[in-house]
Amino acid sequence: MPDYSNRHVIVTGGTGALGRAVVGALLEAGASCHVPYIVDAEAKAFPYRDHAGVTLVPGCDLADEAAVGRLFAGVPKLWASIHLAGGFAFGAIGDTATAELRRQIDMNFVTCFLCCRAAVQALARSAEGGRIVNVAARPALEGRLGANMTAYAASKAAVATLTVALAEEVVKNGILVNAVAPSILDTPMNRKDMPKADHAAWPKVEEGARTILFLASPENTVTRGAIVPVYGRT
């Protein structure tokens, strides 16, 4: 397991299914985790809410640049920023309102962009480099899979392109930027939505977390601009 001792990491979406797995693995590796949230119920159910290595940041709208600025300003010395926050919408394009399109762009792309920007600024202040990990999606890489979820797929494709472009921009500062692209993660919600699917073939959140942990770690010294598939056997 990578060593995160004495390193501060921001994890957006940390109270979600994948986020809980990532935060748990980071804590086991010695990290101090800063987890923003909006939904009180998720924070109350968060299994690490009382852990000494966790700082929960309430009421943080990641699509608001002032809120993102306050989040990153509250971290003493950032090492890595992991951006898991986002949302999903299913629907044919003819049934997708402009408001839903903008909501997908805000939830998936704008939040990622603002957090990447704030992370680059914070890491530049430390002058020691660092890591950024984003979350794209399989339909962002394989566009045909985005049929009937075009707003979601397009917003995640923007995250993938942002990742590759930013990786080239900031490597000179010792900042390595990568992303993972899950297919369908094995979560209780996804099982409920797709009860007849082959759940055993889905990648587990713990497996996704291990991939993210390596990309965000000091042990990753060469990988940048990668969109790493997390597909399991799907």
Task: Dump pLDDT digits (tens) for 67-118.
Answer: 999 999 999 999 999 999 999 999 999 999 999 999 999 999 999 999 999 9
∠ at Cα 62 (209, 172), nearest 5°?
Answer: 65
What pLDDT does 193 receive?
85
More confident call, 111 vs 192: 111
Confidence check: pLDDT of 55 > 90: yes
Q: What is the Cα 170 distance to its own chain's centre?
A: 19
Which CATH number is 133's domain given?
3.40.50.720
Confidence check: pLDDT of 186 > 80: no
Closest CA to 12 of 190, 140, 134: 134
Please report, for residues 35, 49, 112, 151, 215, the alpha-carbon distance to residue 105 in angstroms, rounded to integers and kept in the order given.
Answer: 22, 29, 10, 8, 25
Confidence check: pLDDT of 37 > 90: yes
Question: Is residue 43 a part of any domain in this protein?
Answer: yes
Confidence of residue 233 (pLDDT cuts 50, 70, 90): confident
What pLDDT does 122 receive?
97
Instruction: Tell me the mean pLDDT in the region 168-194.
Output: 92
d(CA 221, CA 224): 9
Give the active site residue among 4, 48, 152, 231.
152
d(CA 130, CA 78): 8
* Catalytic residue check, 4: no
Question: Is residue 159 a part of any domain in this protein?
Answer: yes
Instruction: Tell me the mean pLDDT in the region 167-175.
Output: 97
What pLDDT does 232 receive?
87
What pLDDT does 156 receive?
98
Question: Is residue 2 a part of any domain in this protein?
Answer: no
Confidence check: pLDDT of 157 > 90: yes
Confidence check: pLDDT of 3 > 80: yes
Question: Is residue 1 a part of any domain in this protein?
Answer: no
Question: Is residue 3 a part of any domain in this protein?
Answer: no
Confidence check: pLDDT of 201 > 90: no
Count up the domains in the chain and report the number. Answer: 1
What pLDDT does 190 receive?
85
Question: Is residue 23 a part of any domain in this protein?
Answer: yes
Question: Is residue 169 a part of any domain in this protein?
Answer: yes
d(CA 206, CA 185): 10
d(CA 214, CA 219): 7
- For 147-167, letters b (16+ CB in 10 Å) and e give eebbbbbbbbbbbbebbbebb
Question: Is residue 106 a part of any domain in this protein?
Answer: yes
- Domain with 174, as residue range(s), is 8-230
Confidence of residue 65 (pLDDT cuts 50, 70, 90): very high
